[in-house]
Amino acid sequence: MKNNVYIETYGCQMNFADTELVMGILKSKGFDVAKEIDSADIILLNTCSIRDNAEQKIHSRLEHLKGVKRSNPNAVIGILGCMAERLRTDLIEEKKIVDLVVGPDEYRRLPEFIDAAYGGEKGIGVKLSRTETYNDITPYREDGLSAWISVMRGCDKFCTFCVVPFTRGRERSRSLESIVTEVAQLSDRNFKEVTLLGQNVNSYNDNEKDFSDLLVSCAVAAPEMRIRFSTSHPQDLSDKLLYTIAEHKNLCNYIHLPVQSGSNIILEKMNRTYTIEHYLDIIDKARKIISGVSFSTDIIAGFPTETEEDHKMTLDVMRKVRYDGAYMFKYSPRDGTKAYEMGDDVAEEIKAKRLNEIIDLQQQISWQINQELIGSEDTILIEGTSKKSDDFLAGRTDTNKICIIPRNEEIKIGDYVRVKINRTTSATLFGDLI
């Protein structure tokens, strides 16, 4: 039986969670996980379309896989995820080596498509669904410390630059009960951290139950676990959510709140549906309600019509908020989106220059914030040995910062330990056990 599956995952955490879902589906039908590509009968790429460079990576990966297919002509090669949804039959027509193209809402049919592919048939499943949440499917997860759970799928926001509403379809939430059960199971397996995922978790809705209700249920079901979540859209972030985070110790004091731009003119063209004033109000309120809360963000440089003045406003917001971290991107036009029709009128060099200024500023801010932590104490969750040296252990603070401490034989992975910070860089804290 040819049933070893190798999956490579690209893109956001939701794609990584989907890969576990796909393996859950395939395992229940008798397929197995291949650890190495060479021992695989089926090679799947779970892809991302968010920016052009994400898609280019897959195109070059497929070039490379031509060699694999030459040495193993029976191998089935499939494209999953957002690129499958966006490019559909084009992928099969242009790339002779691709046998199946399956979008995010059709993963239940994968076993059927793989069987057909063995019979030489190309498989395409790219229908989007208004209801599919894979509620009843248990994702396949190796043992570990940290897990992701998608609590909702799709997105209804239609930011004008973004492909996600087209590749993932309409927004829909999983049932609260099924999520809480999964969290409790992870807790029983000794997982110590879970991140609840959605493109816009703040609009989670399961009959009358909102995202704050979901967080409380998870926090109570697994008091030993840290509960994180991503992503929050500023429009739907409620006071109730802030008070909920403040009240429960195991709900992490860390909010990823993408701002995208500091200019109201650009925010409006992006259809972000908030003003910078509203955004800054949320930050102020959160800081009052949740002591020690930290923020990260996403920023796009060079959106159509962005002027030097707009760009300066973005830098200005970064200085006002002082983010702990940021994901920063050059605008990438995506065919089919509203922004695509606005043209791509900021020259590449200007985009690059602005992006560099944003990155430099963020690095200064992160460095300063971390410097201010020297001498303070915190609790970290030990994740493993430091990547750079076996003599050190790496852990993470509630606020999502990596902290390195000297190795100590009494400390195990998964322990919570108190540390005092004694040295920092812009990306890492160094501490000693208290």
Question: Given the rule CB under 6 A, which residues bind ligand F3S?
Answer: 11-12, 14-15, 48-50, 81-82, 163-164, 167-168
51 touching ligand SAH, by CB under 6 A: yes
Options 112-120, 156-164, 371-379, 380-388: segment touching ligand SF4 (CB under 6 A): 156-164
Of 350, 161, 367, which Cα lies nearest the Cα of 269?
Answer: 161
Q: Which of 69, 141, 334, 354 binds ligand SAH (CB under 6 A)?
A: 334
Of 137, 150, 87, 131, which Cα lies nearest the Cα of 110?
Answer: 137
234 touching ligand SAH, by CB under 6 A: no
Q: Which of 47, 200, 261, 337 binds ligand SF4 (CB under 6 A)?
A: 200
200 touching ligand SAH, by CB under 6 A: yes
Determine the Cα–Cα distance for residues 384 and 390; give it in Å rounded to an integer: 10
Q: What is the DSSP letter of 260?
A: B
Options 19-27, 306-314, 329-337, 397-405: segment touching ligand SAH (CB under 6 A): 329-337
Q: What are the distances in angstroms from CA 246 to CA 215, 278, 349, 378?
A: 12, 21, 44, 17
Which residues from 208-267 bind ligand SF4, rule CB under 6 A? Answer: 233
Options 120-128, 324-332, 360-368, 398-406: segment touching ligand SAH (CB under 6 A): 324-332
- Min dist. Cβ of residue 274 to ligand SF4 (A): 11
165 binds, among ligand F3S, ligand SF4, ligand SAH, none (CB under 5 to 8 A by kind): ligand SF4
Options 64-72, 92-100, 158-166, 368-376: segment touching ligand SAH (CB under 6 A): 158-166
- Min dist. Cβ of residue 174 to ligand SF4 (A): 17
Determine the Cα–Cα distance for residues 329 and 164; give it in Å rounded to an integer: 16
- Min dist. Cβ of residue 366 to ligand SF4 (A): 23
For ligand SF4, the binding residues (CB under 6 A) are 155, 157-159, 162, 164-165, 199-200, 233
